[in-house]
A and B are shown apart, each in its own frame.
Chain A
Amino acid sequence: MADIKYRKGKTPHKREYRLIFRNIDREGWDPSLATYEADGGYQMAKKGLAMQPGEITDEVKASGLRGRGGAGFPTGVKWTFIPPHNTKPVYLICNCDESEPGTFKDRYIVHQDPHQLIEGMILSSYAVGAHVAYIYIREEFPEGARILETAIAEAREKSYLGKGIFGSDFDLEIYVHRGAGAYICGEETGLIESLEGKRPYPRIKPPYFPAALGLYMSPTIVNNVESLCHVKHILEMGGEAYARLGTPRNTGTRILCVSGDIKKPGYFEVEVGKVTLGELIYDICGGLKEGRKLKAVIPGGSSAKVLRADERFIINQGDEKVEIGVEDIPMDFDTLMACGSMAGSGGVIIMDDSRSMSWVLNNINHFYAHESCGQCTPCREGTLWMQKITDRITNGSASPEDVETLKSVADNIEGKTICAFGEAASWPVQSFIAKFHDELVADTDEANADSVVTPEGMLATADLK
């Protein structure tokens, strides 16, 4: 990377390993095809199309790549779920709905390096046998959608897309499809419904696993922007070499997005698990603001369970059990899960001791109440109840019992909905109550005890206009 110059003030931190973000903020870089090709772009796609599709899938499996959108499911394994004797058309969908609060990585890929994504999609489409692929981009990236459309037109012009690409007999069209501001479209089956021109109500799995019954009931692979970009680098390096990046079971690099109460927020591409949360906060991001102490961290987008600064965890390290603190957690998939949270989409939100946890939770509750699609009753009603309860806690009209009511509402959403939005909405509430119970109760007032409101009561007095 020594020969790459970055724009002033944008030089990557020395702990970074830039693979996907190699060209982000690069001096003299622009999103054109000419620039991308001059840098060796599309060479891998040309080589890849001379391989057997199954060989590409095997490399991706060997790489150990886990999806970068949130669930961390192995990408290569996902591809093999397409039924073996399938006769229907196969679709590839790039999930560019980037909407998990705290996450802002796909934005930079789309705006600054769109051809990297297209190259990754060509290789992935070839591997899974898709001849039509869609990029589902959130409506709030209007410029991003235009950049992608321009990039696709440029690639088509050179026959890198369309009929018989790179002189092979492989055909591929990629289309940009804009969403319209709904978080639920990041959920893959909701996204598919949206792409079919319907309300994005998620489908129930089983039977609607997209790899078997996806878009138009055909086999469909939905992958995150970052995951698709990794495919190109996996093939360049070879799956085994790629798997040596990062740590076992948590291979490769990933982009961590840091925001909140921190001196230097931003995006940092690091080897998975090679940087601890403490190193991320203090070495890479310059630490907390002057005179402030760490209070809490949401490590993987707003749905991830919150970590309290003084928590201790027992984790397996090899055959040994060791006790670690929050700042010792390596930023990988498995350790964060062992610590009761998740790596999710890589969005790390830092909170210092000036923050009221009631206020933070209320903000999160407003988000989920707004974004619930309304299909399942526990989620549609429950998210709004949770928002109303934290509204009361923050405006001083809650009674101490409200905190228990809040927990019971969350407990009755989790596991009772069609899609994982129910968990996404209830995990913040459950974890904030588990870890900041006394602070939430302290924000309530005994004097309000007479006005205690239960879910049943709320329903009875609901504004039914």
Chain B
Amino acid sequence: MTSPDISIPSLMLCFFLLVIPLAISYRIKLHISWTTIDAVARMTVQLVLVGVFLTYVFDLNNGALNMAWVLGMVIIASYSTIRNIELKMEKLLLPVILSFIAANLSVLMYFNKFVLDLGNLLEARYLIPIGGMILGNSLKGNIVGMGVFYEDIRRNENRYIYNLSLGASMYEALMPYIRKCLRSALRPTLANIATTGIVFLPGMMTGQILEGASPMLAIKYQISIMIAIYVSTTMSTVFSILSTIHTTFDEYGLVKKEIYREKGKKKENKKRI
């Protein structure tokens, strides 16, 4: 048994459901009608493009092309991590890309080799969706982790500087900040792991069950992927922090002020220690 096809008219009927939130938004002046339409339109266009591209990529199933696709996803994930944390691209993009590659690709390859035991590690229908899941979660973890780290180091710079003055190396003085940021980055993933199966059936499992796979097979995939996600999120956040430190701190061990993008309001200029 495989899932029934969704015809275009059926898809239209699904879009029709949006009338409900739009009506609510209109009635109680929520002012999210336009945002809703915009978001759904974006999603549709993006997915149509991805669908078209993926059809080709899957048909060709060329190892190099599949890898290029994953690398493309890595670059986009790195870019959107930095965009989301209000930091400037130039000093951070390269170290974050390299961290994502090192962390996520190694976990992905390990997964394909030892967990799925694939003959071809670059097989499109495993490499791309599993790579996507791992990357997507790393992205979320990094947004939280890097965001907390750089915000904290700016807000509590006095404490950091004080620890430097006591003779701490940069790593020693940064360790409390690194601990805190990793805890923040990993907490959502851990909560997700702990509630899987009770609160929700994860997307991948749902997909496999819809495709007719046995629930037992689906849960084995789900368990493995959750572990892979946790490991890769941990690794990528650690790598991102450790590698960006080299470009975002100066030779005196101070964070370079120019890495911060100014938000809407002007930040007060703290000069006192």
Q: Do A and B come from one complex?
A: no
A-to-B contact residues, CB < 8 Å: none
